[in-house]
């Protein structure tokens, strides 16, 4: 079945550091790919998405590119802020129409 | 502010109680979802409603009973729960259940079963 593998956390960075959270997937066909973010005490928010190969999703300084050849959708940000501290989930929807989540990566950004 | 509103924010209930969780959206979305999230885990799908009809039930125990009275409302009725059912219950909606339609989540109801 479809699956998503994220890098294990937690990740701790200093403010203005570069962020990469790795995400790879296994799916039949051509899934849509998403990054969701969950701030403490809140539900999940869609951060960005990509629906076909080579698409780049971007939002709030975060970017991820749909790489079919490496089945990856790594999340990057050039300069993180304290307010980016949250849990980040990579996810996909494929043929089953269900959203399949990775395990989540907790990011802490220190001032 | 989230566009999916869940009430209550917190709920404590005994194992013999009956309670309901409520979810509302006014975005014109035709698909609505219930998820359960345990601490430090991703959300787990429980139910999906599409055009007010139950389309997916992920083998959830019958002590959880969903209801979709109309296209804007989704309820989850709880009865005879167990302590291990304590979790964050998230409601979500999407335009439709197609693979490219992202989900919009509420902030959840934090449920504690004593």
CA–CA min distance A71, chain B (Å): 17
| B6 contacts in chain A (CB < 8 Å) | 43
Interchain contact, A104 vs B104, CB within 8 Å: no
Three-state secondary-structure class, residue B84:
helix
Hey, CA dihedral for B25, B112, B37, B76, is it positive or negative? negative
| pLDDT higher than 90, residue B101 | no
Three-state SS sequence of A66-79: CECCCCECCEEECC
**Using CA atoms, how far apart are residues B89 and A65, in angstroms rounded to an integer?**
31
| pLDDT higher than 60, residue B90 | yes
Q: What is the pLDDT of residue B96?
A: 81
Q: What is the pLDDT of residue A106?
A: 97
Interchain contact, B98 vs A97, CB within 8 Å: yes
B29-74 tens-digit pLDDT: 999 999 999 999 999 999 999 999 999 888 999 999 999 999 999 9
Query: Is B100 touching A (CB cutoff 8 A)?
Result: yes
- Report the chain B residue with the minimal C-alpha distance to residue A50: B100
The Cβ of residue B37 has, within 10 Å, a number of other Cβ atoms equal to 21
CA–CA min distance B97, chain A (Å): 6
pLDDT higher for A108 or A93?
A108
Considering only CB atoms, A99 lies closest to which of B40, B103, B108, namely B103
CA–CA min distance A55, chain B (Å): 13
- Average the pLDDT over B99-104 and give the result: 82
| A102 contacts in chain B (CB < 8 Å) | 42
| B42 contacts in chain A (CB < 8 Å) | 89, 101-104
| pLDDT higher than 70, residue B2 | no
The tokens describing B66, both together, are 């969903």
CA–CA min distance B93, chain A (Å): 12
The tokens describing B64, both together, are 């959880």
Considering only CB atoms, A43 lies closest to which of B40, B56, B107, namely B107
Nearest Cα residue to B87 out of B69, B68, B60? B60
């Amino acid at each position: 079945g479809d699956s998503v593998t994220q890098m294990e956390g937690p990740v701790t960075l200093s403010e203005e550091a570069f962020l990469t959270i790795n995400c790879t997937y296994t799916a039949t066909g051509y899934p849509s790919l998403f990054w969701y973010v969950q701030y403490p005490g809140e539900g999940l928010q869609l951060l960005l998405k990509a629906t076909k190969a080579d698409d780049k999703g971007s939002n709030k300084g975060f970017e991820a590119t749909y790489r079919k050849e490496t089945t990856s959708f790594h999340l990057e940000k050039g300069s993180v802020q304290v307010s980016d501290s949250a849990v980040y989930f990579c996810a996909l929807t494929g043929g089953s129409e269900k959203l399949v989540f990775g395990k989540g990566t907790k990011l802490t950004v220190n001032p | 502010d989230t566009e999916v509103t869940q009430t209550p924010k917190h709920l404590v209930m005994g194992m013999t109680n009956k309670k309901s969780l409520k979810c509302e959206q006014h975005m014109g979305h035709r698909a609505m979802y219930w998820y359960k999230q345990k601490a430090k885990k991703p959300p787990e799908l429980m139910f999906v409603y599409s055009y007010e009809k139950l389309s997916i039930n992920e083998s959830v125990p019958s002590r959880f009973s969903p209801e979709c009275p109309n296209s804007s409302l989704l309820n989850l009725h709880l009865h005879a729960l167990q302590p291990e059912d304590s979790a964050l219950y998230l409601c979500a909606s999407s335009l439709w259940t197609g693979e490219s339609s992202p989900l919009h989540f509420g902030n959840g109801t934090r449920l504690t079963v004593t």
